């Protein structure tokens, strides 16, 4: 029985040499949490190099602990990105870290919208089970991203810890 969470669908693989971009624009120095929402301008341009290992080495506890570490404002290692001539941003180091945050933000621990599209709607039962267990753990120990985001607008409806997390996220970034 698998105990690792499969987040491989969240950041697609691509060849370094893909496409040409005549206007690469300014470099982005930091990534905000909103940048990794599926409908942001930033997230759809993230890629993993073809040679990078699959993003399925972390279990639910490690994913939950990492998200909690980030949301509490603790130091996390930098994520190293490289911009290709085609305009994609390749994750050179930190794909598990970025994928864990993207899983939380997009509520996709291997069974959500992004994963369903990636796997053409065919997700193994075991993957769905571990995804549901991960979601349950994260929601219990941290809270859902959707609720924490909502707490910014309706602070009187949420516990003080969730309000604190929302305040932390407003000033947090990934570099």
- The predicted-structure confidence for 43-84, as pLDDT tens digits, reads as follows 999 999 988 888 999 999 999 999 999 999 888 898 999 888
The rounded distance, in Å, linking the Cα atoms of 46 and 106 is 15
What is the per-residue pLDDT for 24? Answer: 52
Cβ–Cβ < 8 Å for 130, 5: yes
Asked if residue 1 is part of any domain, the answer here is no
Asked if residue 4 is part of any domain, the answer here is no
- 133: domain range? 13-174
Asked if residue 5 is part of any domain, the answer here is no
Residue 27 clears pLDDT 70, i.e. is over it: no
Spell out the residues 6+ positions from residue 31 whose beta carbon is closer than 8 angstroms to its own. 42, 79, 173, 174, 175
**Domain total in the chain:** 1
Residue 167 clears pLDDT 80, i.e. is over it: yes
Instruction: Give the Å distances, CA to CA, from 164 to 1, 30, 57, 72, 172.
Output: 37, 22, 30, 8, 12
The rounded distance, in Å, linking the Cα atoms of 174 and 131 is 24
Residue 26 clears pLDDT 80, i.e. is over it: no
Per-residue pLDDT, averaged over 117-139, amounts to 97
Q: What is this structure's pTM? A: 0.90
Asked if residue 86 is part of any domain, the answer here is yes
The rounded distance, in Å, linking the Cα atoms of 87 and 42 is 11
Residue 18 clears pLDDT 70, i.e. is over it: no
Asked if residue 8 is part of any domain, the answer here is no
């Amino acid at each position: 029985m698998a105990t690792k969470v499969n987040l491989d669908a969240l950041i697609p693989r691509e060849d370094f040499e893909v496409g040409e971009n005549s206007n690469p624009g300014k470099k982005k120095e930091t990534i905000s949490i909103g940048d990794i929402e599926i409908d942001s301008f930033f997230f759809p341009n993230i890629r993993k190099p073809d040679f990078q290992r699959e993003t399925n080495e972390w279990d639910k506890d490690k994913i939950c602990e990492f998200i909690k570490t980030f949301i509490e404002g603790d130091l996390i290692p930098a994520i190293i990105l490289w911009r290709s001539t085609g305009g994609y941003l390749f994750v050179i180091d930190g794909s598990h870290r970025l994928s864990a945050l993207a899983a939380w933000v997009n509520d996709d621990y291997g069974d959500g919208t992004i994963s369903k599209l990636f796997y053409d709607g065919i997700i193994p039962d075991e993957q769905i089970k571990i995804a549901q267990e991960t979601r349950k753990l994260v929601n219990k120990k941290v809270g859902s991203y959707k609720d924490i985001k909502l707490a910014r607008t309706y602070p009187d409806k949420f516990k003080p810890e969730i309000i604190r997390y929302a305040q932390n996220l407003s000033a947090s970034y990934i570099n």
